[in-house]
Amino acid sequence: MVVVAFGSNVGDRRREIVDAASQVAGFLSAFRLSAIIETAPVGAGLENDPPFLNAVGVGETRLAPRAIYERLRAIEAAAGRMRPYRNAPRTLDLDLILAGEVTIDEEDLQVPHPRFRDRRFVLEPLAELAPDLRDPVTGLTIRELLDRLSVADSG
């Protein structure tokens, strides 16, 4: 199973995500999109940025992870995504979170996404679609990763 995270905090956020999802559904079979949720920006220095809409999509493909990644980048670019600085507000962010059991650690592409285990805005929508999916690195399921995060949150 391939997992893609969707995020937008500039412009017509819902439309950006819905449009992108239909494009991703063009190359992932059995595509499913989670609920689209509003989330506060997570990350140092982002406190005053506009709120995000986030969602997660899952599907299947025989494309290699790098080919998926290139398609995601092309969809972002077509949505007018600018990259003036790291974590800048964006019309559309598409992150490849998981690609089955594959692990990749290259300069421009890491799979699984190195920060997804700490991100409620990814784990919560993903738990709606695939709670029993396993992270190949930790061996934990999405439900277990989310529970672990909840424990950490409550101190």
Active site residues: 81, 90, 93, 95
What does 37 bind: ligand PH2, Mg ion, none (CB cut-off 5 to 8 Å by kind)?
none
Query: HSE (CB half, 13 Å, CA atoms) of 67?
Result: 6
Pair of tokens at residue 138: 């930790």
Binding mask 61-100 for Mg ion (x = CB under 5 A): --------------------------------x-x-----
Decide whether 5 or 132 has the Cβ nearer to Mg ion. 5
Applying CB under 5 A, what is the total number of residues that bind Mg ion?
Answer: 2
CB of 64 to ligand PH2, least distance (A): 23
Task: Check if the beta carbon of residue 94 is closer than 8 Å to that of residue 6.
Answer: yes
Contacts of 49 (CB under 8 A, 6+ apart): 9, 41, 89
